[in-house]
Amino acid sequence: MSDLNKRMNATRRWVPCHRRMAIDISIASKSVPSFPLIRTMQLQRVDAARRASSSRIGLTALFLHGYSRVCHEVPELRDIYVALPTPYLYRHPHVVASVTIHRHDEQGNERLIWGRIQSPHQLDIDSVQASVDRFSYGSIDEVFADGLRMEQRPAILRRATWWLLTRCCGRKRAKHVGTFSISSLGQFGALNGHHPLVTTSSLAIGPLDRDGRCDVALICDHRVIDGVLAAKALQRLETLLLELADGLGHSQPLSSAA
């Protein structure tokens, strides 16, 4: 009788639109051989500087600015593996950051959206923070218009689009998906150390502890990046974050454009 009751209480429903993009990305990422590398960074100085800043600056904006500069300095981090028709590496001339944001839509559904910023290292920190705020609080219809249109398409068209992007179109993947992505669960006390990857690399930011230590994961496409390069990238990122912290006290807007 208990099994019958369980079956009677069970329900089935179509996959809702707001979950389709996350599912499509999870499926597309299966073709990417990825690995995570984690570095514990000492960011007490960075956290103190951003809190003392006259404008509100989040860690995500600082990481966007810093890692964008790393990718600008290290061209290999802008390489994209293209499998078809013949395997080759496409190098995008610009850094394109994809920011993962958790939102509630107008129907009250919890969902993810992705916002793109070109060359964050060429912007001042306040402008980077303004872009993050727009993705976080702006109208989803405006800041995620392309994604919403994609979600409305039949599954076969969505999967075909992702298949082409992840295998055949380096330039379009960089433009529409990004050369790197970033996400943070630090505010929830967690580190998502190995999430689905459709960019060449992806940063995941953990929480800051009382001593200012922060675990940062860099998830990499192993066809493009090896462990040594990833380790050096994280080391350089920590150095740049400390430099950014020193610059937050300047009266002029901080920019690291090179």
**Domain membership flag for residue 135:** yes
**R_g of the chain computed on alpha carbons:** 19
Q: How far is CA 40 from CA 75, 99, 181, 192, in A?
A: 24, 22, 19, 14
- Is 165 within a domain? yes
In a domain, 5, yes or no: no
What is the DSSP secondary structure assignment for residue 159, as one 8-state letter?
H
Residue 147, classified by CB atoms within 10 Å of its CB into exposed (0-12), middle (13-18) or buried (19+), is: middle
Domain that holds residue 95: 36-247
- The answer to whether position 85 is within a domain reads yes
Location of structure tokens 């790197």: 180
Q: What is the pTM of this model?
A: 0.90
Which of 38, 57, 77, 115 is CA-nearest to residue 241? 57
Is residue 234 in some structural domain? Answer: yes
Structure letter (DSSP) for residue 55: S
> Is 222 contained in some domain?
yes
Query: How high is the pLDDT of residue 2?
Result: 62
Residue tagged 């956290």 (tokens): 47
Q: CA-to-CA distance for 142 and 254, rounded, in angstroms?
A: 28
Burial of 118 (0-12, 13-18, 19+ CB in 10 A): middle
Bond prior to 85 in cis (omega within 30° of 0): yes
Question: pLDDT truncated to tens, each residue of the chain (258 aa)?
Answer: 566 555 667 888 888 899 999 999 999 999 999 999 999 999 999 999 999 988 899 999 999 999 999 999 999 999 999 999 999 999 999 999 999 999 998 888 999 999 999 999 999 999 999 999 999 999 999 999 999 999 999 999 999 999 999 999 999 999 999 999 999 998 999 999 899 999 999 999 999 999 999 999 999 999 999 999 999 999 999 999 999 998 886 544 455 444
Q: For the chain, how many structural domains are there in total?
A: 1
- Contact by Cβ (8 Å): 52, 190: no
Rounded Cα gap, residues 131 and 101, in angstroms = 12
Residue 111 β-bridge partners: 103
Q: Is residue 39 helix, strand or coil?
A: strand
Q: How far is CA 49 from CA 4, 127, 246, 257, in A?
A: 60, 17, 7, 20
Q: Alpha-carbon distance 122 to 257, whole Å? A: 4
**Domain-embedded: residue 254:** no
Residue 180's DSSP bridge partners are 97, 201
In a domain, 241, yes or no: yes
Domain at 198, CATH number: 3.30.559.10
Q: Which residue has the tokens 């996400």?
A: 183
- How far apart (Å, rounded) are the C-alpha atoms in residues 73 and 55? 28
